[in-house]
Chain A
Amino acid sequence: MTLVAASPLGRRPAQLFGGWEVGLLGLMALLYAGGAFLNPDFFGIGGEALQSLLRDSSRYGVMAVGMTFVIANKDLDLSVGSTLGLMGVVFSYVFNTAHYDMGVVPAIIVCLALGTLIGLINGVLVTFLKVPAFIATLTMLLIGRGFILGLTGGRAILYPIKARDYAWFFQLGEVNAWGLNNQVMLALVVVALGAFVLAKTRWGYETFATGGNEQAAIYAGIPTNWVRIRAYIISSLCATIAAFMTVAQNKGITSQAGLLYELIVIASVIIGGASILGGRGRVIGSYLGAVLTALIHKVLREGVPIVREIEVGGKIIQVKATSTLPAGAVPVFIGGLLILAVLIEPYIIRQKMPQRIWAWIRKRPAPPPVETGGVALEGSQTKGSMVSDRAVHARGVGKFLARRDALAIILTVVLWLVGLWLRPDFWAGLPNTFAILLNYTELAILTIGLTYVIACADIDLSVGAVLALAGSTAAYCLKVLGLDPVTAIAMGILVGTGAGAVNALFTVGFGLPAFIATLGMFYMARGAASWLTSGKQLTGWAEHFNLIGRKVGDILRFFGLQSPEGLLGAVTDVVSIQTIWMVVVAIIAGVVLGYTTFGQRVYATGGNRRAADYAGVSTNRVRVTALILAAFCAAMAGVINAAYFRSFNPVAGQFRELDAIASVIIGGGSIFGGFGTVIGSLAGAAVITLVRSLLQLNIEGFSLPQHYVNTFIGVILIVAVLADIWIRQANIIGRIRTALSQRRPLQREPAHA
């Protein structure tokens, strides 16, 4: 069946390989030349760079194949990195002599089954259960990481000796007779298969239809839920294959395996020409994107050889060294790259930028940009169909129960009583109350800002990272620059708030979905934080700064005052400055959100942005304010964190964004926007804090390891989001009740319609 390329219908569009891929190859050649110029030993001909580049990129490449399917469906899978790690750990558990000590084949089978299961869970969550993809898969990422740390205990599992008996499998990590690593061969096979399926088969066509317009695809009889679930399964199976490659190469697994891979893989796919808005993407482009990203990674990491002059015994000796970027810098660049790559599709391809520049060079009239038909960049706001208006008619207790934050308030009380019941000796005492209140304060400050963002129907995934950035900035100013505490606090808050301004710029200014812009910031801010502190813990500075993180009693003592007696004295020993500060901020933020026109503008923006725009609400300004406020709150929490610990640790605030999002949702916020109160979010934060301290409670000598606590919080987040979608929005309990009462002979009040 030979088809002529130029038929009367014009040239058929390229399905496998196109201009974009050619451009990528060109860019790679340039970059490689740049690398060779900077570091000829490593990148030069005969250097190991090409070999290791292809080997390292093969894992990203395999995962990019699956991710292309997911992104072409207008979904996102953030869990791939932790799936890789978890599958590596599971493989090792099954295979390792110290654990189950089975062969390679059972290990592979178990991993493939589990990988399928993870993909299935992701898929079912985002399709049938309607959880937004980023929140479902981010939670899976957290849960996966929790399991990895819990299972490995943070250590590596290695089995080089047993691996010798299974050479046929572990050869996967070796260089073959053609001088190429076997991983590269496997990657090429997977890429070829994926490219064929996506470009040439019905599976691929169904994917593009689903990503382009899901509604139209449903009308056309495409089972879009299955198409999306299938993509998630493909994605997590690809991560499983990448896990096999990792295990084969290292003959073992570390607890760090797959860390940040999701970022690199998503960046690769987007660079490879896929659109985050779905409906576009080519597997070969994604693979080239992965190679390109790995190359950038390498050029950044390998660094420039320099000659350093050292004085030894009065003589100046020249020493060869390489100037490399610190570890934290890499996520900064890759995160930035991700955001820039996402901008390519709307601002360069849709605007026909290359064609226009070419036309401008030739002094011809520019072709018009692709008519977008006024379609906004953001996906449509998904809304739950109904919220019952019971609150209007209910009285007394019913009125309280109909509040969206009722659940959080009840849970707070119940959880506290559970704690009292489990450890009556300890729970209500001063030290524990102090610890709970302290943990609560940090989370509460984060949720205050996030409440505004979520009520605006945006999301900020970067609050935990911004916390770290602000804390590290303050610590850097104090320790390295030797600035005074006030300036250090101001700098920390300024830099953190600046991160919020960047979020706002990309979300509102460039119209990127909030989750992708703040995801970029999630990596950039944390990377920058560990870059600033060079990955180390900074400590030892003026005690004056630390005062903002102390108990009231400590401060009285610091200034040589006598702390009061009795109950008041107990209060001063429990309440710290940051708690008071948090209460002040919460009251202001709560009043503004609940009672001012600005608060009304926030709810209008989150409820229906178009309607709010028509009504003259400047929704852009509202969203910018909310995003900056969230970062401002995170920055305050960061500075306080550094002051409390009298030091700054780069892992500060890790996973805090999930705690904060869960708090807002439990407290009555909706992941789709338009709801949320400060009181509710504070109650939600109390729930999360109490759950954490309950899980860490030592009962008869047993306490749950910290890693599993994170896993548990992840589960709570998903349950909260599901409850919001199905109980509050879709009113499933009301519908069941109606369905039941309709079966009975009529006895119901007339509906309000």
Chain B
Amino acid sequence: MHDVINQGPAIIEMRHINKSFGAVNALIDVDLMLRSGEILGLVGDNAAGKSTLMKILTGAYHRDSGEILVAGNPVHFRSPHESREVGIEMIYQDFALCGNMDVGQNVFLGRWPRWGVFFVNRRKMYAEAGEVLQRLKVDVSSVYQKVESLSGGRQQSVAIARSISFEPRVVVLDEPTANLSVMATERLLETMLELKKQGVAQVIISHRLQDIFAVGDRVMVLKRGENVGDRYIAHTSEQQVLEIIISGTREAAITADEALTKAA
């Protein structure tokens, strides 16, 4: 399936994004495009601006200049809550779950189904949480289990279940495999493919190229706050991407499509 190049409509377009923190230019004129149902890997050294770019997308940071289009409409998010409303979800590296609460309560954190004005509709909450988890094909043994008694991989699954229960169009995963065992990573990657089947576009920030190569459609390289090119996974190799990370420059950058034509 990697051979079929996704040419669907762009769900996210970020154009000429600039962001500086004091004297540090974190992002310089960065473009990013994400198609629906696409998995985009975002790679680069530390401090390349990957997380900053994604936080600007979700509204956690505010851009200095540039524009963001979601499904063609320009947007100005002031907080992650606003980006959630148009269907953009971010999964944080430390999962952001409440360990003292159970799986069902965490899936619906902050928007527990109501019964009447005040009461929690527990039956509905656990039933729907179970459904979401089944959709993801993760086997958490019980939705009544406390999250802090789950392993890291399972906690990750709950975090993903939580974000897809919002029925998002875009999911951003920040270093999702950093704290996971090999087994858990495998399972996470399966979950990502499952999501992709359901048409959810994903951005995965990772240091581990092999993960991106296992599930991604395209990989984009950032270097010192600049976009230094992107490639289709099907038409590149880890070696090539590493070369771009190490020696790529803004001037020499070409897009995935340009690289494809050049190769052909």
Contacts and interface: CB of A to CB of B under 8 A. Distances in A.
B55 to A, nearest CB: 11
B99 interface: yes
A522 to B, nearest CB: 27
Interface stretch (B103-111, B207-215, B237-245): B103-111
B98 A611 contact: yes
B202 to A, nearest CB: 19
A387 B105 contact: no
Interface string A721-753: 000000000000000000000000000000011
A617 B99 contact: no
Contacts of A604: 98, 101, 105, 109-110
Contacts, number: 92
A368 B23 CA distance: 12
Interface in A600-658: 600-601, 603-604, 606-608, 610-612, 614-617
Contact of A389 (B22, B84, B122, B149): B149
B100 interface: yes
Given A392-B144, A608-B96, A615 B149 contact: no
Nearest to A592: B118
Contact of B100 (A592, A616, A674): A674
Interface string A374-398: 0000000001011111001000000
A669 B94 CA distance: 25
B120 interface: yes
B149 A603 contact: no
Contacts of A670: 100
Interface in B105-158: 105, 109-112, 114, 118-120, 122, 141-142, 144-146, 148-151, 154
B142 to A, nearest CB: 5
Given A387-B146, A389-B146, A616 B98 contact: no
Interface residues of B, number: 32
B149 A611 contact: no
Contacts of A368: 22
A600 B122 CA distance: 11
Interface string B51-92: 000000000000000000000000000001100100000001
Interface string A345-382: 00000000000000000000000100100000000000
Given A392-B142, A392-B144, A611-B98, A595 B149 contact: no
B100 A607 contact: yes
Contacts of A385: 148
A201 interface: no
A626 to B, nearest CB: 15
Contacts of B22: 368, 371
Nearest to A598: B118
A597 interface: yes
Nearest to B125: A600
A617 B101 CA distance: 14
Between A606, A611, A617, A675, the greatest number of chain B beta carbons within 10 A of the residue's beta carbon is seen for: A611
Between A371, A607, A617, the greatest number of chain B beta carbons within 10 A of the residue's beta carbon is seen for: A607
A387 B98 contact: no
A596 interface: yes
Given A596-B119, A604-B101, A753-B151, A612 B145 contact: no
Contacts of A600: 101, 105, 112, 120
Contacts of A389: 145-146, 149
Given A383-B148, A612-B109, A606 B100 contact: yes
Interface residues of A, number: 35
B97 interface: yes
Contacts of A597: 112, 114, 118-120
Contacts of A387: 99-100, 146, 148-149
A735 to B, nearest CB: 13
Contacts of B92: 614
A617 B144 CA distance: 21
B141 A752 contact: yes
A738 to B, nearest CB: 14
Contacts of B148: 383, 385-387
Contacts of A753: 151, 154
A567 to B, nearest CB: 36
A575 B97 CA distance: 44
Interface string A493-518: 00000000000000000000000000
Given A383-B148, A392-B145, A600-B112, A611 B96 contact: yes
Between A368, A389, A592, A670, the greatest number of chain B beta carbons within 10 A of the residue's beta carbon is seen for: A389
A615 B98 CA distance: 11
Nearest to B150: A752
B98 A595 contact: no
B110 A617 contact: yes
Contacts of B109: 604, 611-612, 615, 617
A614 B80 CA distance: 8
Contact of A386 (B120, B145, B149): B149
A606 B99 CA distance: 10
Which A-B residue pairs are the 5 nearest by beta carbons? A615-B110, A607-B98, A674-B100, A611-B96, A607-B100
Interface of B: 22, 80-81, 84, 92, 95-101, 105, 109-112, 114, 118-120, 122, 141-142, 144-146, 148-151, 154
10 contacts: A368-B22, A383-B99, A387-B100, A595-B119, A595-B122, A596-B120, A603-B105, A607-B98, A611-B95, A752-B151
Interface of A: 368, 371, 383, 385-389, 392, 592, 595-601, 603-604, 606-608, 610-612, 614-617, 670, 673-675, 752-753
